[in-house]
Amino acid sequence: MNRLSLALLAVMVACDRDQSLGQNECRLDRTICGSECVDLQSDPDHCGACDSACPSDQVCSFFVCSTSCKTAAETPDCDRACVDLFGDDFNCGACGRACPTNQYCEEASCRSCPAGETYCLEANNEGIEKVCVDLDTDANHCGACGNACVSTPIASACVDGMCVDCGDGLCEPPDEEGP
């Protein structure tokens, strides 16, 4: 993946709380359907796929139309969308209560990352994870959420929010000056 692809990925991952990034772009846990960013896992109008609406007497739970939500953590009270009020950034503690930018939902409360860190979404083998990272040093989120430094045979690192080649000596700690 080249730097242009990584830059585009970074733009696609960072977003504001309305779930969209701009024209034809959504945050990592949403999908563009027409002109909307939607959650295919819980949106009854786009359940599992764009424009795949559930019947009016069913909810959308884990990408499937159903007569009830699949887990006790989910509530169908959010316009027939089964959402986790304890962890959904857009329905945190109550339907429609979105956490402000750079905050995430945990235990039904909006939380902030520690000082100097930024809230990002990260895809892994188990799905999408919420992470707080230092954009100046995190090689998976270097300078922006999702902007991963490409490893080379020499290795890459994130220094001051920029991907650098360690072969340039930029990955070494600075020389300490003694007394």
Q: Return phi, psi of residue 167, to 5°.
A: -65, -20
Q: Is the pLDDT of residue 3 over 80?
A: no
Please count the residues of the chain: 179
AA identity, residue 31 = T
Residue 155 is predicted with a pLDDT of: 62
Distance CA 113, CA 131 (A): 9
Distance CA 63, CA 81 (A): 10
The answer to pTM > 0.75 is no
Distance CA 106, CA 87 (A): 5
Residue 8 is predicted with a pLDDT of: 31
Residue 171 is predicted with a pLDDT of: 65
3-state secondary structure 108-167: CEEEECCCCCEEEEEEECCEEEEEEECCCCCCCCCCCCCCCCCCCCCCEEEECCEEEEHH
C-alpha torsion angle, residues 40, 110, 99, 26 (rounded to 10): -40
**Confidence class for position 14, pLDDT limits 50, 70, 90:** very low
Residue 15 is predicted with a pLDDT of: 34
Residue 164, burial from CB neighbour count under 10 angstroms (0-12, 13-18, 19+): middle
Q: Is the pLDDT of residue 51 over 90?
A: yes
Q: List the one residue out of 116, 145, 120, 144 whose CA is nearest residue 130.
A: 120
Distance CA 139, CA 159 (A): 9
**Confidence class for position 177, pLDDT limits 50, 70, 90:** low
Q: Which pair of structure tokens corresponds to residue 58?
A: 């069913």
AA identity, residue 8 = L
Please write the tens of the pLDDT for every residue from 18-34. 444 444 578 888 899 99
Please write the tens of the pLDDT for every residue from 95-115. 999 999 889 999 999 999 999
Min mean pLDDT across 8-22, 35-49, 51-65 is at 8-22
Mean per-residue pLDDT for 54-71? 91
Residue 43 is predicted with a pLDDT of: 93
Element housing 75 (H / E): strand 74-78
Min mean pLDDT across 21-35, 53-67, 122-136 is at 21-35
